[in-house]
Amino acid sequence: MSTYPISTLHEEAAGLYLEGVSLATLAEQYGTPTYVYSREALTVAFNAYQAALKGHRARIFYAVKSNSNLAVLNLFSRLGAGFDIVSGGELARVLAAGGDAGVVVFSGVGKSEAEMRQALRAGIRCFNVESAAELNRLAAIASDMGKIAPIALRVNPDVDPKTHPYISTGLRSNKFGVAFDEALTLYRRAATLPGLRISGIACHIGSQLLDPAPIAEAADKILGLVDQLAGEGIPLDHIDLGGGLGIRYKDETPPTPAEYLAPLLARFAGRSEEISLEPGRSLIGNAGLLLTRIEYLKPGSEKNFAVVDAAMNDLARPALYDAFHEVVTVSRSDTATQRYEIVGPICESGDFLAHDRELAAAPGDLLALLSAGAYGMTMSSNYNTRPRAAEVMVDGTRTWLIREREQIADLYRGEHMMNAD
């Protein structure tokens, strides 16, 4: 079994391989920086959820924001996933990838009128409504279109997920969801509004969760509210408990999907509502890596720097969250091991990918930043007019270019100069 976070990454005499493909060969064929994904790792992660949910009325909705490549979406669709979206653009991606709008849930605090109309025309499964103002807008738009919008209120259970504050979403101070003590009143109002059909309830407390206790606590609060609603004649068909299960980046020991879900499933014994889950990171995070090449080694009086061709525009998580990604050399090197700051060429002191890492490496060597399948490419940008990376899917010994590397001319194709003197 692989000692790396990515289960299908392994070392052979010629260097590192993902499934049956050499990373060095991938770099020669597709260049760097390049995101590389393992179809097998993605499939195994999804099947672990399916196995944990076997025998229960449940459905998995892949969180598109974690990685929205069309090939990734298509694979999850073929495995049987629905989709959790947070924008009209993500809905368009799901449909372009062959996904079914009927298994799409639309979350997010700022849905525009245009996005609501787009989703209603497509016939999505459910809107996860996050405010009274959004509820009113959706009712008015659905009525204007002669449609019925299926809804769930995203209820904020005020549970501390014990994760990074930027990815905590279920506390009273967060922007997400309807306050728990206001939810009952808002459900009563929703039941009176035209153009709406109450379908369920939703919550999501945060991401990179390593302990099932907070989500179990949230479920207890949500189920109590569900029973109160049923007593008032507002039965719900589904209960959406979000996603958030963490992965191993460094030395974390996250629970398996079965371990994470066990306390939740126990609480649903004897209940009729469908369980909805919205995993993202735990499905794709450890199915991908970022391949990059060392441009320069720059020794210094206090720190040594390995300057690589990837940067914070390619992988924003370290600069944004001070997130850790394991860094490994792709091929063995006879050079001496030293400690390096791994940095990119962007003109910002915050442009780093890793701090204080031991590497035996030389200019031109390849590095792999692991656990980069989630919130890597989807958070990338063109800062410093840098084209975004290519994306490649490995399937056994085959490789597929699933996103072409951007060209510089692509970056200003829609820009125009003024005609006036």
Residue 224 per-residue DSSP state: H
Q: Which CATH class name applies to 107-279?
A: alpha beta
Q: Which amino acid is at 383?
A: Y
**Order of strands across the sheet that contains 15-18:** 9-12, 15-18, 21-22
Phi-psi region at 126: left, alpha or beta (left = phi > 0; alpha = psi -120 to 50): beta
**What is the structure's pLDDT at 251?**
92
Report the pLDDT value the prediction gives residue 62, as an integer from 0 to 100. Answer: 98
Taking the domain 9-38+285-411, which CATH number applies?
2.40.37.10
Residues of the chain with CATH 2.40.37.10: 9-38+285-411
**Under 8 Å between Cβ of 328 and 4:** yes
Residue 11 contacts residue 17 (beta carbons within 8 Å): yes
pLDDT of residue 289: 98
Give the pTM.
0.94
Strands 126-129 and 104-106, sheet pairing: parallel
Task: Considering the chain, tell me which residue range(s) the CATH 3.20.20.10 domain(s) occupy.
Answer: 107-279
Model pLDDT, residue 164 = 43
Query: Mean pLDDT across the chain, nearest whole number?
Result: 94
134-179 tens-digit pLDDT: 999 999 999 999 999 999 999 988 776 555 454 444 445 466 789 9
Which pLDDT value is given to residue 174?
A: 64
Q: Which residues are identified as catalytic?
A: 347
* Residue 380, CA distances (Å) to 55, 155, 223, 232, 287 in order: 39, 30, 38, 47, 18
Cα separation, 139 vs 4, whole angstroms: 49
Check pLDDT > 70 for residue 187: yes
